[in-house]
Amino acid sequence: MHSPLPRSFFNRNTITVARALLGQKLIRLDPKTNTLVGGLIIEVEAYLGPHDKAAHTYNHHRTPRVETMWGPPGHAYVYFTYGMHHCMNVTTRPADTPQAVLIRALAPTDNLSLMYTRRKKAKRDRDLCSGPAKLTQALGIDLTHGNTDLTTPPTPYSPLCILQIRKRAYPSSHIVATPRIGVAYAEEWAPKPLRFYLRHSQHLTTP
């Protein structure tokens, strides 16, 4: 049916990748039930590397936590923050060009019942994946998934994957660009329009 997006998809300009990810599907193979969980990517943010004051690799920052961002494209960069949340990015561009796209929201499509068991507080479908830490919780993604190759079909040892749903990116008229969320500290980089979402989606971080 659908195939994983190839490495070449991710080895491009990060803004191009961010926009082209909208409408593609992030899935995880759940080890306990051996079923797929996931949804369509509807909101993302681009992080542009050593010059981007909001990026974890700003000023060529390179520590064990961000090592994945320095590696090859098409891998999952997962980080832990605020003492309780995980967020997932997709690496872009070649090794040593440490850029990535943060996945901020999904329109859940596969295995909503499993998502509800993981997201105890969720009352309705739009509570499941409408935020970067909500979707990792819904899919059961944590630090053990760091550096997973996203270009291979899901297996127990590489359970994350992004499937190609669309051949081409949505036309610009379908995509809204705004400043990124939660990066007010980033000075002149804070207002840059590097957050992208699908217009009219019902599953965004803030409606």
Partner DNA sequence: GTGTCGATAATCT
Partner DNA sequence: GATTATCGACACG
Binds DNA (CB under 7 A): choice among 1, 32, 34, 83: 83
Question: Smallest distance from the beta carbon of 59 to DNA, in angstroms?
Answer: 9
- Side-chain-side CA neighbours of 193 within 13 Å: the count stands at 7
For position 185 contacting DNA by CB under 7 A, the verdict is yes
For position 45 contacting DNA by CB under 7 A, the verdict is yes
Q: Where does this chain touch DNA (CB under 7 A) — which range of 19-27, 84-92, 161-169, 192-200?
A: 84-92
Q: Where does this chain touch DNA (CB under 7 A) — which range of 11-19, 24-32, 48-56, 157-165?
A: 48-56
Candidates 121, 52, 47, 51; CA nearest to 88 is 47
Our CB check for DNA shows the closer of 1 and 84 to be 84
Which H, E and C letters describe 28-69, residue by residue?
Answer: EEECCCCEEEEEEEEEEEEECHHHCCCCCCHHHCCCHHHHHH
Contacts of 63 (CB under 8 A, 6+ apart): none
Taking a C-beta distance cutoff of 8 angstroms, is the pair 94, 86 a contact? no
d(CA 49, CA 64) in angstroms, rounded, equals: 16
Candidates 9, 5, 58; CA nearest to 27 is 5
Name beta bridge partners: 101: 46, 90
Query: Where do we find the tokens 């659908």?
Result: 2
Binds DNA (CB under 7 A): choice among 1, 32, 82, 188: 82
Q: Where does this chain touch DNA (CB under 7 A) — which range of 30-38, 85-93, 107-115, 196-204?
A: 85-93
Taking a C-beta distance cutoff of 8 angstroms, is the pair 26, 36 a contact? no
Our CB check for DNA shows the closer of 30 and 45 to be 45
For position 25 contacting DNA by CB under 7 A, the verdict is no
For position 68 contacting DNA by CB under 7 A, the verdict is no
Query: Where do we find the tokens 């003492």?
Result: 83
d(CA 70, CA 37) in angstroms, rounded, equals: 28
Binds DNA (CB under 7 A): choice among 15, 112, 176, 181: 181
Our CB check for DNA shows the closer of 3 and 59 to be 59
Q: Where does this chain touch DNA (CB under 7 A) — which range of 3-11, 156-164, 166-174, 175-183?
A: 175-183
Interface residue list for DNA (CB under 7 A) = 45, 47, 54-57, 61, 63-66, 69, 77, 79-85, 87, 89, 100, 102, 119, 121-122, 127, 131-134, 137, 143, 180-183, 185, 205-207
